[in-house]
Amino acid sequence: MKSAPDHRCGHVSFGIAGFGTYAPEKIVSAETLAQEANIPVEKLTIGIGMKHIHVANDDEHPFTMGLSAAKDALADAGIKGEDLDLVIFVSGGDYDYRNWCPSSAVAHALGCSHAYAFEVRNGCAGGNLACNIAGGLMERDASIVNALVICADTLSRIVSTKLEECHPLLYFGDGAAAVVLKRDHPRYQFLSFAEHTDGALGDLLKIEAGGTRLPITPDFNDWDKCYAKVDPEKFADLINRVYLKEYVDVIKLAVSRSGHEMKDMDYILMNQVKNSLRAHILEGIEMPQDHTYVSLIEFGHIGPADSLFTMAMAHREGLLPEGNLAILATSGMGFSWAASIIRC
């Protein structure tokens, strides 16, 4: 246990009481992706650092995967759906349907009779943000005791191996993670939060078709515009010029707000990025390279679920001893960065 006192942003103490995860059984290897994309497999295995991704079948969707992860988290927390006061559904990509509320569907499926349910979208930083929104609502509403945050995506469906503009995103996979947040819970308490957005990068990643500017009408046939595409040069410029500095800066700000110093931090849970970038981030905060959990190799990048998924895995493997300090760090399209400091 660190000797320095914790500083909490707000008067309410809340922590993670239960973890849940879900990954589809179907696996697509880096070799298969590379062959379909007609690129060297080393771009994925060495350049990115992945072996394969998990891909949803026709019966697996953000709602179904998120519901499975939610049930897992409830069981881990030892509570039932009727005990929930808040349900937040987070996704970086598409829901099962357009103009639909998966949070209320989950609440109904779990038997939540009095919970308030809503969605959060902040790219791959959404799960981190949603946990802090839940804490903020606990601050405002004393009746909120148990909150459920679910992150679920089928990002493999918005990427095509046939399009060169999708190749930087071929490590996008499918999966879900969920956490139960409990008022006054002694483990995994959220101490502080910091965030920043660079709006100049807002158009870096988007799907052109399906919105109001390019609706899918009966005569629509430009199906290439139904995938997420990036300009490889602009994407590389983001990484080299902006991404690393913003990631490190938001972590340092969150650490400062927690009442601690960077040297007090023991571990970091992150959204999954390529090997070289992860190494630079850890160097930037002077964290040993093995003080993070890497799920990229086996699962690829699964959107806002990444950081909570890796936290669940690290928790299950005993890598987060009680009393240690951990960083929950994320980034998302927009482009946004967010970090929380957690007392394990």
pLDDT tens-digit series, residues 134-153: 999 999 999 999 999 999 99
First to last CA, the chain: 10
pTM of the model: 0.95
Instruction: State how far the Cα of 169 lies from the Cα of 159, in Å rounded to an integer.
Output: 7
* Structural contact between residues 154 and 62, judged by C-beta atoms closer than 8 angstroms: yes
Instruction: State how far the Cα of 152 lies from the Cα of 95, in Å rounded to an integer.
Output: 9
What pLDDT was estimated at residue 69?
98
- Asked whether residue 5 carries a pLDDT value surpassing 80, the answer given is no
Instruction: State how far the Cα of 48 lies from the Cα of 265, in Å rounded to an integer.
Output: 26
Residue pLDDT, tens place only, 100-116: 999 999 999 999 989 99
pLDDT band, very low/low/confident/very high, at 10 (cuts 50, 70, 90)? low
Instruction: State how far the Cα of 89 lies from the Cα of 121, in Å rounded to an integer.
Output: 9
Considering only residues 128 and 199, tell me which one the structure prediction assigns the higher pLDDT.
128
* Structural contact between residues 165 and 128, judged by C-beta atoms closer than 8 angstroms: no
Residues 203-213, mean pLDDT to the nearest whole number: 91
237: three-class secondary structure by DSSP: helix
Query: What does the mean pLDDT of the chain come to?
Result: 94
* Structural contact between residues 191 and 16, judged by C-beta atoms closer than 8 angstroms: no
What pLDDT was estimated at residue 1?
46
- Asked whether residue 2 carries a pLDDT value surpassing 70, the answer given is no
